[in-house]
Structure 1
């Protein structure tokens, strides 16, 4: 941990999706289609070919590019997703806006760039939106991105169900809910309120690096 930000040192490259990659059988696709959106990410080891398969089946896809995205990633994935999320704290706001615009130009309906302690930016092809963070003293940023995405999508897909609301208002409200929920998560150890200290030199004993 460094100033409340979780820093990943290394891993054993033996995660579940490394050992048993997703294939998306017809049965699995039929099950996924019972939901409003399928969320996946760079960390899930779901490549562009698998995303094309989901999109080809008519499944709305949300993809988390993380902060290690490349222009090639954006070009290969954006045409097949509806919601793009990118961690953009390593670039300035102007570049963030350009990246989001490119995602939407290529096919995404909405692209959102979170920027650490700076306001998040979203783009829907018509205009840009900004959302300030909810200022809290972060204890552990583990889960901040996932909570942000889940809160945005759950709000965006449900708001307006009972009464009409403009597309712009939906995005604005969803960005606010996302910021609020992420702020709740980063004040908890391990994103769940359960955590323990581990000395880096002892990592190999725990995760077989």
Structure 2
């Protein structure tokens, strides 16, 4: 999870939000229309905000199911069904949180509210395994609510770590064979793994902190 800066409200919501909300609130439908709150304009803007990643786990959403999620569930506050600030982008793993409705969003981290610094006070990683930091209950509830510790995510994160380790090994071998320090372009290649547009960038930020001596040379 990383902090996400919300972009201006999509034009379709500027035009339709009030009428969509009124129609839904006054209906007996338990859920709003997915064709409305997940309209392509809305989906495109959310993708741009998150660099095409899940707001919660940072998994890249290319070629996998992506869902527009209500951060505060419609069952709790129907008036927020089309509220721009309540629409997030999620993978199917993180959005399948029915069993965790007992954890309110007020007791979990919010990627559109909490800064990177706040998030990192509560969540960390040991290799591909997500952990709470300093026993944080806020971190624990966030992991539980969005299933950030699922086997599925562990496997995907591990695959990304292997890409990183392959690059790191190649650089270390070249440094040894050429009897030299690390080149600037090699540093940049390693550091790029923690850029916000990369998958699981928080995990790699934690990993790269372990190589501070190498990257500072």
- Which structure exhibits the higher relative contact order, with contacts defined as CA atoms closer than 8 Å and separated by 6 or more residues? 2
Could you state the TM-score of these two structures normalised by the residue count of structure 2? Answer: 0.26
Larger radius of gyration: 2
